[in-house]
Chains A and B, each alone.
Chain A
Amino acid sequence: MTTALHVARETARRSWLRALRRPVPLTFSFVQPLFWMLIFGFLFQRFTLGPAYAGLSYLDFLLPGVCVMTVLFGASQAGIDLVRDLQTGFAQRMAHATPYPGWMLGGKLAADVARLLAQAAVVAALGVALGARLRPDAAGVALAAAGLAAFALAHGSLSCWIALKTRAPESMAVFVHVVNMPLLFTSTALVPTRQMPAWLAEVARWNPLTGVADGLREALLFARVPDSGALLALLVPGVLLFALARRAMARAAES
C-alpha cells in the first residue's frame, strides 16, 4: 500500500511539474475564462435571469458557470498529456516499470483535479476583480468543490480512456469539440433553465454539468449548502470512468 501511494504521489508530482513548466497553456487556462467573463458578462448584462436570481447581475450568475467551464475544458485535456507520453513510449515505460499502473493513473488524475480546482478558485477571484458579487458559504463551497472534483475525475478519466484507446492527438481534439461543447451549451453554465426552450431545459436537467454549476451557484451566490445527493452522485460516473481508464492503462502496461 505504501509503495502504491508512493507511485501515486510521484506521478502526481510529475503532473504538477509539467503543468508549471508550461507557462503558455497555464496562462491560457486563465485568459480563456477571463475572455468568457468579459465578453459574455458584458454582452448579456441586460439579460433577464428570472425571479430565482433576482438582484444578481449576469456577471454574478456567469461566474460559477465559468469556474465550471474551466474545470470542464481543463479535465478534457487530461488525455492530451497521456497521448504525448504514449507517442514517446514514456507512458508504456512507466507502466511496465510498476506493479501499480492504476495508481499511476490515479496520481496523475488526482494532480489534475487538484490543479483544476485551484484554477477555478483563481478564476473566481478574477471574476470578483471584474465586479462579480459573491456571498459564499464555507460548507457549501466545500461540498460544491467536492462535486466539481467528482465531475473533473469523471471527465478527466473519460479523456484518459480515449487517449489510451486511440493514442492519437486528433481524437483528443475531436473529443474536446464533440463532448465539451454540447455539454456546455445544454447545461445551466451560461443560461438558467427558465430562459431555455422546454426541450433544452429538459436536457439540461439531466446534464451533469448543470448539477455542478447550480451547486456552485448555491454556495457562492446564496450562501447555501447545495444538494449533497446530486453532487455526490457524480462520484458514480467518476468511479466507473476511472475504472475504465485504469483498465486501459493496465492493458497499455501489457502491450
Chain B
Amino acid sequence: MPAPSSTPTEAVVAEGASKSFGGVRALDGVSFALPAGELVGVAGANGSGKSTLLRLLAGILEADAGTVRVLGRHPRRERAALRREAGYAGQEAALDPEMTGWETLRLFHALLGLPHGERGRRLETAVEEHGLAEVCGRRVSGWSGGQRQRLHLALATLHAPRLVLLDEPTASLDPEGRRALWDRLTAWCREGRTVVVSTHDLAEVAAHCDRVLLFRGGRLLAAERPAALVAAHSRPRTVITLARAPDADAMRGALAVLHGVTEVAVRGETVTLWRDRHPAGAEPALELLAARGMVYRGYERREPELADAYFRLTGSAPDAERPARGRGGRRRKA
C-alpha cells in the first residue's frame, strides 16, 4: 500500500492501520484523516482500540499493517523529530510521588531538550496555565487525583506541541476540572493545535469536539462531526418507567401503533419510544398505558444525542434491546 500523503492541513492520516497483540487484533484496518487545528474525540468501549490508536500516533507502537502519517512524518521511524512536535499523555498519570511539581517540571524541561535560558518563564507559564501554583512546591504524593492529572497534562504539553494526544485525561477530574480541561483543549485548537483525546464521556465529545472517531472491537465505525453522527443515527425518544415490568411483546405491539412512533424497546420496567419528532402536548403513550391499567413512575423526553447514536452504531444499546419497528412511524407518513 502506498504511503498516504498528508498535506499541511491534515495532522493525521491513517490508511488500513492494524495492530495486534498476540492473537488479539487491537486495531483492524483503520483509515481516517484528521484536519489540523481540530479537537478530535476518540470514543468506544474499553478494549475497543482507543489507547492503541493513540500509542500508534505517538510512535510508541508501530502498526503491523497499513500506514500512519502524523504531522507528515512516520511516527515510529521519525520519532525523534515527532517528539518535538507532538505531546502524548497516557492513561496513567505516571509521576514520581517523592518529587515536587516544580522538580518534576524542571526534570521534564531538561528531558524534552528545551532551551535552558527560558526554563523559568516556561515553567511559570505551565504552572499558571494548569492551575498548579498552590501545590507545585509540595511533593506529588500529597496531591489529589485531579492535581496529578493536571501535572500529567502539563508535562505532556510543556514543549507547546502542535499535536496533543491525550488518553482519557478527564478520568480523575471533578466536574470543574473537566470543564477547565475542555476549555483549555478548545483554546489550544483555536491557537491552531490539533488535539486528539480519548474519552468515555460522549456528552462532552458532542459538546466540545469538532470530530469524533467511534471504535468498536478495533474497528472504526465512524469518523464524523458529532452533529452529523447524531443527525444520522439518533432520534428523539421518550423513556417511560413503569411501576412493574410489563409483558414485553404485548407492550411493544401496543405502543408501536401510536402515531409517529418508529421503534419501541422494552427492558424490564423501562419502555423507550423513538420518533422523528416529539409530539406536541401530552404524551399519547401515557393515555394508552392508563387505558390498560398500567401505572408509570415517570417519563422523560430526550433529544437526539451522541450516546444514542453510539449505541445504535455499536449495536450495544442497553435500553434499545430488541427494538420493534412501529407501524405509525415513517412508513405511515410515506
Contact = CB atoms under 8 A, between A and B. Distances in A.
Interface of A: 2-3, 6-7, 9-11, 13-14, 17-18, 21-22, 85, 88-90, 92-94, 96-100, 104, 255
Interface stretch (B104-112, B180-188, B242-250): B104-112
Given A10-B110, A99-B83, 11 more contacts: A3-B110, A7-B110, A7-B113, A10-B107, A14-B103, A18-B96, A93-B90, A97-B112, A98-B112, A104-B111, A255-B60
B129 interface: no
Contact of B110 (A9, A88, A96): A9
Interface SS, A side: helix
A99 B88 contact: no
24 contacts: A3-B113, A6-B110, A7-B111, A7-B113, A13-B107, A14-B103, A17-B98, A17-B99, A18-B96, A22-B98, A88-B94, A88-B96, A89-B94, A90-B95, A93-B90, A93-B155, A96-B60, A96-B83, A96-B88, A97-B83, A97-B155, A98-B111, A100-B113, A104-B111
A12 to B, nearest CB: 11
Contacts, number: 65
B111 A10 contact: yes
Contacts of A99: 80, 83, 113
Interface in B51-102: 58, 60, 80, 83, 88, 90, 92, 94-96, 98-99
Contact of A90 (B83, B96, B106): B96
Q: Max chain A CB contacts within 10 Å: which of B58, B94, B110?
A: B110
What 7 pairs between A and B have smallest CB-CB spacing? A89-B94, A10-B110, A98-B111, A6-B110, A3-B113, A97-B111, A93-B94
Contacts of A92: 94
Nearest to A91: B94
A192 B90 CA distance: 55
Q: Max chain A CB contacts within 10 Å: which of B58, B94, B112?
A: B94
A160 B221 CA distance: 44
B116 interface: yes
Contacts of B109: 10
A21 B99 CA distance: 9
A59 B109 CA distance: 49
A89 B116 CA distance: 26
A89 B93 CA distance: 9
Contacts of B108: 94, 97
Contacts of A10: 106-107, 109-111
Contacts of A85: 96
Nearest to A21: B98
Contact of A11 (B83, B107, B116): B107
Contacts of B155: 93, 97
A100 B112 CA distance: 9
A139 to B, nearest CB: 36
Nearest to B116: A6
